[in-house]
Structure 1
Amino acid sequence: MAPSQAGYAPSLDKLLKSLKNHPLEASIDALIFLLTRRQVHGDDCAIATAHILLQVVARSKWNDVDQLLARVQKAGSRLVYAAPDEPVIGNIVRRVLGLIRDEASEERNADDLSESASDIQTLTTSSSPPPRPPPLVRSTTAGGSMSVSKSMFNLLSVADPADLPTGASTPVSQAQPASIQALRSEVIDGIEEIMDEISQADDQIASFAEIQINPGDYVLVYRPSKTVEKFLVKAASKRRFTVFIAGLEPHKKQGAEAPYAALRKKLNAAGVNTVNLASNGLTAYMARVSKVVISAKAVYQNGGLLVDSGSCIAVQAAEAYSKPVIVLCGVYKFCPQDPSEELSWGGVKGNSSAEVSYAEGAEVDELEVENTVTDYVRPEHVDIYLTNLGPQTLHHFAGILADHYKPEEMLLSLQLGEA
């Protein structure tokens, strides 16, 4: 359901700030609206997904773990369906599902340990010798008759449950909500840790810049993302090198600021030279390039990359000139699946009107123009995967995926209708 006001779409920041004040379903619908219009993309998809799933856990009604898993999976499937070209959404959903299973398993193990300790204590008590009965005390009643003392009577009688002191035992109906509340709190804490990991990933990746960039290097970047920009600025604080910025738009509006002006200003202030290149001119400079640095939208199980359109040009040119390719990506972008056949062959197609105006003439109407939004880079073109955990190779992927995804989530399909 789109926002009620026609033509209005709240920004991601406004949406995240309003989550606590709006109904859960309305917040989910608002994010779906932004994803469908591609107003939220890239790393922002991971942040937005984590925030929404945190609200699902905190505000939805559920009585057991299975219901919670179903709620999260249903909401996650709707988000995945809204932006199928953003695999990071499915990654966050799977990690939250695995987190719920882990927390539920730990709580179950804690309960089993508690019950085992209780059984051992009961067994120990029952195996000890019975206490020595107290001596009989004869007392004379008003009628002069003798009666057995109350202590012996208490030993032979069965206690009434109503006579037990308050707090001696807790009914199951009261214990269950307390257990659910504890699980809810633990899962929320876990999701907040995932959110911290996402927000800190770029800074952690940038901390390895000094190792990867050497003095005097010529580094080529293609349409640098925020991750690449932080990486270059961090390297510029310790190294002096030259940056080729490729992938600039050939047509530019009058009066508009030059692309990546803020990045070039920061690098120039640090003593790093920058050179702007058009996409069709980067091959001429590749002989001087020391290494190519790009960022990935997702890293698949086979090591292949989902990248912004055009990045494959730089990667293929680097292979032709035997130049190393460094890919920057947080581990939350590692997908436990292989790429689809459609992506492997052609990438994801977008709106062609952004590249060609059909108002330019009748001849344009006879053309079929395809605008590729993303490209697929095969794993053999990548030399180093630089993550927030440090440099990785393809041989490390199995361990990384096993650490971040449970086997149930690796095989999980998040297609709408299968949740």
Structure 2
Amino acid sequence: MAPVSTHTPTLQKLLKSLRDQDLETSIEGLIFLLKRRQVRGDQCANATAHILLQVVAKSKWQSVDRLLELVTSAGSRLVQAAPHEPVIGNIVRRVLGLIRDEASEDRNADELSESVSDLQSLAPVAPPPTSAPARPGPTPITRSLTMPAAGLQVSKSMFNLLSVVDTLDSYSTGASTPVSLAQNNSVHALKSEIIDGIGEIIDEVNQADDQIAGFADIHIYPGDYILAVLPSPAVERYLIKAASRRRFTVLVASPHSQGSGAEQYSALRKKLTSAGVKMISLSTTGLMAYMPKVSKVIFGAKAVFQNGGMLVDSGCCLAARAAQEYSKPVIVLCGVYKFCPQDTATHISWTQLENPSSYVGYDDGETVDTIDIENTLAEYLPPEFVDVYVTNLGPQTQDHLGSIMADHYKPEEMSVQLGA
């Protein structure tokens, strides 16, 4: 059920209202935006992390298992709302792994403190320092307080005697924080650590494009002809960063090379032109004619799977295949949070279809009755067409993807079924 609102909901409005509205309303609000495809791509990762942070902060839980159930339930609902956005499941699994890590560290700290307490309870009472100044001999009163039969070597001083009694009383009574209060403090500390960890994931998502752009000088050289296919925000920052130091030519390929399509990247053109870099717009259908002149092909990925294959915008596969025919390197930009610990064989299809009315008009009734037109929004690209994966951790090859996924996902998270 869509949230009731007098205004059209947006992701910005939703994120601003997370603290003021209840958890269920926030989850339903994001589900509404996902189903309407008002939130796509990188925005899905950011929004999912914010919602899961609210799940941890606002839900009532007293055990780690209960928190894992709550996060899994909320994550499954988000995945069901946008099954073609694998990055949502990635963030959910990252948060689940974070919870397990923080809980494991908390248990290890508790076991260590209990071991220290046991050792302290078994330690004998230290005798008084030998360097203390000698006191007068014991009076008859103090002699009567000694206990030679018990074999206890206790100082004859009344002050030390009272100190020993107080120490023994503290060990015998076990004066400490009540168990219930200790548990509440432990849950509160664990919640704070998990919230801080989710905040770090949000920072990683927000900073990934800038960190990827920092490696632009490694691949782009003066005089290059760079083919950017449907440049994503990460690709745009990558090109702008390279333009600040190098002079090259950018060929931007998009389905529309005229009209509104030509103005889609007007902001990118303005920034590149101000930096002295020439930008040429062309259609994805004419890539083969320009490929002999191209130095490198660059595009962004929506998701990267275990085998190195990826989900890309429609048109990138054509450019990658053309680049392979002409022996041109293909560079893919993607943040580590887009790495999916899943095999594409477990999914029926990652191909996404969209409204084809932007390509063919339906004014003629005969055309509607006789032609079926499919507008592919995203498609799967096999790993053999990619040369380098540029992530926020640096350039990577296909052989190193498995180790990166193993560092960010545990086997428990890889087997979690979301959206089922």
Shared fold per TM-score greater than 0.5 = yes
Question: Hey, what does 2:192 align to over in structure 1?
Answer: 185
Report if the CA contact (8 A) 1:343-1:375 is conserved: no
**Residue identity matched to 1:13:** Q
Which residue number corresponds to residue 10 of structure 2? 11
The one-letter amino acid of 1:283's match is M
User: How has the CA–CA distance of structure 1 residues 366 and 187 changed in structure 2, closer, same or farther, with 3 Å as cutoff?
Assistant: same
Check whether the contact 1:229–1:263 (CA below 8 A) recurs between aligned residues.
yes
Deviations along 1:45-64, one digit per CA (max 9) or x if unpaired, are 00000000000000011111
2:256 corresponds in structure 1 to 249
**Structure 1: tracts of 5 or more residues without a match:** 139-150
Assess, with a 3 A threshold, how the Cα gap between structure 1 residues 39 and 115 changes in structure 2: closer, same or farther.
same
- Cα 1:115–1:258 change in 2 (3 A) is same
CA deviation string 1:93-151 (max 9, x = no partner): 0000000000000000000000111111122238x89xxxx63169xxxxxxxxxxxx9
Name the residue aligned to 1:169. 176
1:20 alignment partner, SS class: coil
Is 1:320 paired with 2:325?
yes
| One-letter identity of the residue aligned with 2:235 | V
RMSD of aligned Cα (Å):
2.7
CA distance in 1, matches of 2:368, 2:17: 44
Q: Does 1:135 align with 2:140?
A: no
Q: What amino acid sits opposite 1:300 in the alignment? A: F
Q: Does the CA contact (< 8 Å) of 2:102 and 2:193 recur in 1?
A: yes
What one-letter code is carried by the residue in structure 1 that aligns with 2:33? L
Match of 1:303 in 2: 308
Question: How does 1:59-78 map onto structure 2 within 5 Å?
Answer: 59-78=58-77
Q: Which residue, 407, 411, 414 being the options, matches 2:411? A: 407
Contact kept, 8 Å, 2:305 with 2:340, in 1: the verdict is yes
Correspondence 1:10-409 to 2 at 5 A: 10-125=9-124, 135-136=143-144, 168-249=175-256, 252=259, 258-340=263-345, 347-409=351-413
Q: Deviations over 1:214-255 (max 9, x none)?
A: 1110000111110000000000001010110011415635xx
Please give the secondary structure, in 1, of the residue aligned with 2:380.
Answer: strand
Query: Aligned letter for 1:404?
Result: H
Give the Cα separation in 1 of the matches to 2:85 and 2:410. Answer: 21
Alpha-carbon distance change, 371 to 327 in structure 1, aligned in 2, over 3 angstroms: same
CA-to-aligned-CA distance 1:145-187 (integer Å, 9 cap, x gap):
xxxxxx99x98xx9799x96xx922221111111100000000
Q: Tell me, yes or no, if the aligned pair for 2:257 and 2:281 is still in contact at 8 Å.
A: no
Change (3 A) 1:267 1:250: closer
Which residue in the other structure is 2:135 paired with?
A: none
CA distance in 2, matches of 1:93, 1:137: 67
- Could you tell me how far apart the structure 2 residues matched to 1:250 and 1:360 are? 24
Could you say if the C-alpha distance between residues 353 and 343 of structure 1 is closer, same or farther in structure 2, counting changes exceeding 3 Å? farther
Measured in 2, the distance between the counterparts of 1:264 and 1:251 equals: 15
Aligned counterpart, 1:142: none
1:248–1:276: 8 Å Cα contact kept in structure 2?
no
The offset of 1:415, in angstroms, is: 2.1
TM-score (norm 2): 0.87
Change (3 A) 1:204 1:243: same
> What is the identity, as a one-letter code, of the residue corresponding to 1:326?
I
Counterpart CA distance in 1 for 2:374 and 2:336 is 32
Gap change, CA 1:214 and 1:64, over 3 Å in 2: same
Query: Do the aligned partners of 1:94 and 1:405 also contact (CA within 8 Å) in 2?
Result: yes
User: Could you report, residue by residue, the CA deviation over 1:49-99 in whole angstroms, capped at 9, with x for unpaired residues?
Assistant: 000000000001111100100000100000011001110000000000000
Q: Secondary structure at the match of 1:286?
A: helix
Q: How many residues align?
A: 392
Q: Which AA in structure 1 matches 2:3?
A: P
- Partner of 1:368, secondary structure, is coil
What is the alpha-carbon distance in structure 2 between the residues aligned to residue 23 and residue 360 of structure 1? 49
Identity, in percent, stands at: 60
The 8 Å contact of residues 358 and 365 in structure 1, kept in 2 or not, is answered as no
Distance in 1 (CA, whole Å) between partners of 2:38 and 2:364 is 27
Contact 1:293 1:326 in 2 (8 A): yes
- 1:269-318 CA distance string (max 9 Å, x none): 11111111111111100000000000000000100010111111111111
1:221 and 1:245 in contact (8 A); partners too: yes
Tell whether the 8 Å contact from 1:248 to 1:259 is kept in structure 2 after alignment.
no
- Residue 9 of structure 1, CA deviation: 3.4
Q: Distance in 2 between matches of 1:343 and 1:73?
A: 22
3-state SS, counterpart of residue 376 of structure 2: strand
Change (3 A) 1:160 1:300: closer
How far apart are 1:11 and its partner, in Å?
1.1
- Asked if the contact 1:56/1:72 (under 8 Å) is kept, the reply is yes
| Residues 251 and 217 (structure 1), Cα distance of their counterparts in 2 relative to 1, 3 Å cut | closer
Contact 1:222/1:246, CA 8 A, preserved across alignment: yes
Does the 8 A contact of 1:9 with 1:34 survive in 2?
no
SS in 2 for 1:245: strand
Q: 1:178 to 1:268 in 2, by over 3 A?
A: same
